[in-house]
Amino acid sequence: MGLWAAIVSMAVSFAVLARSADWLVEGAVGVAQRLKVSAMVIGIVIVSMGTTAPELAVSMQAALAGEPEIALGNAVGSVIYDDGLALPLVALFSPVVVVIDRFVLRYTAIFLIAVDLVAYWLCLDGVLSQREGVLLVLGFFGYLAYTYRVRSRTRAEDTETKEDQSKEEEPKRWGRISFLFLLGLAGVLVSSELIVISAPMLAKAAGVSNTIIGLAVIAFGTSVPEIATCIAAARRRQGGLAVGNILGADILNICWIAGASATVNDLIVARADIHFMFPSMIVIVGVMLALLRLNYRFEKWKGGVLLLLCVLYLIALWIKTPDSVQPFA
């Protein structure tokens, strides 16, 4: 692909990405209305499965190719970039303060912290074995089963403002909802892939170093679906859906993506990397959950705190591996 082709591809991809993300959010909100559950639950269970598809593909391919560091690092690092980069954009772009579904956050937070700690403990010996991978996958299905059981306790109304709640529209037909959701998801994934392909070429043409490409371009590329969905949801006053998407993606990355990759091959990673990746992830996840639980509102200053943590992580990563950066995302 030539330089001009990369420029055109990038421009068209961003345009398609923006529109596709709108369709994805509209379809997801329709599903929430039809099932009479909060948009946050739909973000956790359904939307996150779609937006984490690139991470799943990368980790599975890496595991099959005998690249365990990439397989595990991709899963763990995606949590860091989603929480520290994608989630802050929700606070930035939302025209109203995002109100968090308390019940959903409580049980999701407990499960997420537990999963992160268990995964870290399983990897302390430098190996995430196939049996341990199966354990993580089973944990994910257990979480889905519990979410299904308690769905009746989640709020079906819009959690953004009381004014929006009073103006809730009639649920759309299933056919239209399904079409919008699937079309939006396909558009987000395809356009994101084109951006990932085009961005490194543009960066190299601009004289950007491989280190910066690794830290900024590739890391950004793997989080594009989550970022686009968060921005689209926030602009449509569906911040709960965006927050749910990130929480669901965090759980999927550890239980489903890392777990499924380990079932293919044992993931053997240097202990030094384990002790860098997992503590970094646990810190940012812990801070994120604490901020969300603080008055159950996601305000702009909270997004700023998470963004700062992401920047500090990138600096630490650059200091740790200045010559051959392998971004964990």
Residue 161 pLDDT level (bands cut at 50, 70, 90): very low
Query: Is residue 31 in some structural domain?
Result: no
Query: Is residue 312 in some structural domain?
Result: yes
What is the pLDDT, as a whole number, of residue 233?
A: 84
Q: For residue 301, count other CB atoms closer than 10 A to its CB.
A: 9
The answer to whether residue 306 scores a pLDDT higher than 70 is yes
Give Rg (Cα) of the chain: 19
The alpha carbon torsion through 207, 210, 212, 216 (nearest 10 deg) reads 110
Handedness of CA 240, 226, 49, 329 (dihedral sign): negative
- Write the CATH number for 60: 1.20.1420.30
Query: Is residue 185 in some structural domain?
Result: no
The domain in which residue 80 lies consists of: 38-160+217-320
What is the pLDDT, as a whole number, of residue 322?
A: 52
Query: Is residue 2 in some structural domain?
Result: no
The answer to whether residue 288 scores a pLDDT higher than 60 is yes
What is the pLDDT, as a whole number, of residue 152?
A: 56
Query: Is residue 26 in some structural domain?
Result: no
* Interval 252-271: pLDDT, tens: 999 998 999 999 999 988 88
For residue 297, what is the enclosing H or E element? strand 297-298
Which amino acid is present at 12? V
Handedness of CA 144, 35, 236, 12 (dihedral sign): positive
Query: Is residue 22 in some structural domain?
Result: no
The answer to whether residue 248 scores a pLDDT higher than 50 is yes
Alpha-helix residue ranges (DSSP H) falling in 65-101? 68-81, 87-93
Between 46 and 113, the more confident residue is 113
What is the pLDDT, as a whole number, of residue 246?
A: 92
What is the pLDDT, as a whole number, of residue 34?
A: 78
What is the pLDDT, as a whole number, of residue 1?
A: 58
C-alpha span between 40 and 237 (Å, rounded):
12
DSSP-based three-state secondary structure for 96: coil
Reading phi first (left if > 0) and then psi (alpha if -120 to 50, else beta), residue 36 is in left
From 25-34, 177-186, 291-300, the region with the lowest mean pLDDT? 25-34
C-alpha span between 24 and 224 (Å, rounded):
14
* Angle between helices 239-251 and 102-122 in degrees, nearest 10: 20
What is the pLDDT, as a whole number, of residue 59?
A: 78
What is the pLDDT, as a whole number, of residue 266?
A: 92
- In order, the DSSP letters of 102-155 are HHHHHHHHHHHHHHHHHHHHHTTTSEE-HHHHHHHHHHHHHHHHHHHHTGGGS-
How many domains are contained in the chain? Answer: 1
Contact 33, 156 (CB under 8 A): yes
pTM, two decimals, is 0.78
Query: Is residue 78 in some structural domain?
Result: yes
Contact 83, 306 (CB under 8 A): yes
Residue 283 structure tokens: 């810190």
From 7-11, 150-154, 209-213, 274-278, the region with the lowest mean pLDDT? 209-213
* Interval 44-91: pLDDT, tens: 877 887 778 777 777 787 788 787 887 888 788 889 989 999 999 888
Average pLDDT across the chain, whole number: 80
The answer to whether residue 108 scores a pLDDT higher than 60 is yes
Cβ neighbors of 156 (< 8 A, separation 6 or more) are: 32, 33, 36, 37, 38
Query: Is residue 247 in some structural domain?
Result: yes
8-state DSSP, 99: E
Cβ neighbors of 103 (< 8 A, separation 6 or more) are: 150, 153, 154, 155
* Interval 171-226: pLDDT, tens: 667 788 888 888 878 887 787 677 666 766 766 666 655 444 444 555 566 677 88
The answer to whether residue 285 scores a pLDDT higher than 70 is yes
The answer to whether residue 318 scores a pLDDT higher than 60 is yes
Cα dist from 70 to 157, 202, 231, 270, 316, whole Å: 41, 24, 28, 12, 18
